[in-house]
């Protein structure tokens, strides 16, 4: 991970229940794409914001670091 982690302060963690609601229980009609790490769904948060939600196939230490870096870049 980059030594400058300021972007992570802007990222919000959501509960699995919040993500299930936002994606209509990961409804196949909301699939945006499929990548090496899992499916990406279109979701709508309770405040109306549209988001992309990745439902990962696996979680390991290497993937977690890659994912954290991706969140940092996007934030």
Q: What is the CATH number of the domain that holds 19?
A: 3.30.200.20
Sheet order of strands, 31-35 included: 31-35, 38-44, 50-56
Q: pTM, whole model, 2 decimals?
A: 0.68
DSSP letter for 64, please: H
Distance CA 47, CA 40 (A): 20
Q: Which residue range(s) make up the domain with 37? A: 6-74
Does residue 9 or residue 31 have the better pLDDT? Answer: 31
Distance CA 41, CA 29 (A): 9
Q: Structurally, how many domains does the chain consist of?
A: 1
CB atoms within 10 A of CB 50: 9
- Mapped onto helix, strand or coil, the DSSP state of residue 19 is helix
- Does residue 1 lie in a domain region? no
Query: Residues 14-50: pLDDT tens digits?
Result: 899 999 999 999 999 999 999 777 899 999 999 999 9
């Amino acid at each position: 991970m980059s030594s400058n982690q300021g972007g992570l302060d802007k990222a919000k963690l959501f509960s699995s229940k919040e993500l299930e609601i936002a994606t209509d229980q990961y409804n196949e009609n909301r699939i945006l794409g499929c990548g090496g790490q899992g499916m990406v769904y279109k979701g709508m948060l309770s405040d109306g914001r549209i988001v992309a939600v990745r439902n990962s196939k696996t979680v390991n230490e290497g993937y977690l670091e890659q994912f954290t870096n991706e969140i940092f870049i996007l934030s």
